[in-house]
Amino acid sequence: MQSKYGLCILRGMEQGKAHKTYFTKQLIHWHHTANDRQLPWKAEKDPYKIWLSEIILQQTRAQQGLPYYFNFLKAYPTIRKMAAAEDEEVYRIWQGLGYYNRCRNMLATARYISHELKGKFPTEYDSILALKGIGPYTAAAIASFAYGLPHAVVDGNVYRVLARYFGIDTPSDGAEGKKLFHGLAQELLYKEDSAAYNQAIMDLGATVCTPQKPQCEECPLQKQCVAHRQDMVLLLPVRAKKLKVKERHFNYLLLKHKDSIWVYKRTGKDIWHNLHEFYLIETRQETDIKALMATEEYKTLSFDKKPLYKGNIKQKLTHQTIHSHFYEISIHNPDMAALPHGKWVAINDLKKIAFPKTIVSFLEKNFYF
């Protein structure tokens, strides 16, 4: 049977069953004999540490998340310690990881568990799933790794491994595909040791069955892999939706008064919620100093001199690319009524403020840190 992508789909219940049995058996064998991926949270049973690692790893590569994991455990060895921390302190440790909703939800969950559950992490999948910032994948990971419950994890690595091995060309980002992949993952789960199975399939996807340049010759599933047989490995998995990236142009004014700089906290539902920034003028396109000075936001400041251009930084987010341009202006009146609610911070104290990665990079590059 041929799919629309030319993949040979297996026929017959018995052949399908044998194909699935081979998958699970080979994966578990590989995990115990050849999987040498080292991560500090592997084989961890403490639900707090597992939860922390999973929240950090949402939208973040393992190697990038490692130092953050250690920094958080050093600062907050228990969930009660995190729950008692000041928001600003937690955001500073998170600084640079992006997707700051994760940090806000993490704090809310830590406080809920500490105050409402007396510091005890939930032990059932549905109770874990009900926590703020936790979806089906994270709930399955915690349930499996901490408590050995029979729940299969399904992330990007799992989609890729399953799509290639079984020759699945149903888009993984659609409702039909998600249902198909989640059902198949649960069916394949090695229930005697769900933690080992889940770790194995994620590690295989991260180290062998990678998006580009997969190491097929080292794969324990190669002999029965449909995509490998059909030379279609790089075509799977299929995604129906094409990611649209929005271009945004941020013009930051560093308002300096003696040894202080004015900052304010971002609010609302936009990016970088609860992080600080300088006076921002967002424009629809890249602009020069003359055009910037002609904007209403700039005119309200009533400056009588030209700002000094200090450079630019581009940051790519999942759905947006932020083009940030920085300008410096020394002012004499620190109590300007035109400024929104914010505060003056001594340059030596800027390290104590939580900023988005773009601004941190600028401050480091210009020796403010």
Half-sphere exposure of 45 (CA within 13 A, CB side): 3
Active site residues: 54
User: What are 248's two structure tokens?
Assistant: 């945004």
Residues 159, 180: contact at Cβ < 8 Å? no
Read off the pTM.
0.83
Q: Measured between alpha carbons, how far is 216 from 161 in angstroms, rounded to an integer?
A: 11
- Distances from the Cα of 261 to the Cαs of 185, 254, 326, 342, in angstroms? 53, 7, 13, 11
Per-residue pLDDT of the chain (369 residues; tens, 9 = 90+): 445 444 444 433 345 899 999 999 999 999 999 999 999 999 899 999 999 999 999 989 999 999 999 999 999 999 999 999 999 999 999 998 888 999 999 999 999 999 999 999 999 999 999 999 999 999 999 999 999 999 999 999 999 999 999 999 999 999 999 999 999 999 999 999 999 999 999 999 999 999 999 999 999 999 999 999 999 999 999 998 777 889 999 999 999 999 999 999 998 889 998 899 999 999 999 999 999 999 999 998 888 789 999 999 999 988 899 999 999 999 887 667 778 789 999 999 999 999 999 999 999 998 887
**All domains of the chain, ordered by start, with CATH?**
13-235 (1.10.340.30), 246-365 (3.90.79.10)
User: What are 235's two structure tokens?
Assistant: 């075509």
237: preceding bond cis by omega (within 30 degrees): yes
Q: Where are the alpha helices (DSSP H) in the chain?
A: 13-33, 47-57, 62-75, 79-83, 87-94, 101-116, 125-129, 136-147, 156-166, 175-188, 194-207, 226-229, 289-293, 296-299, 357-365
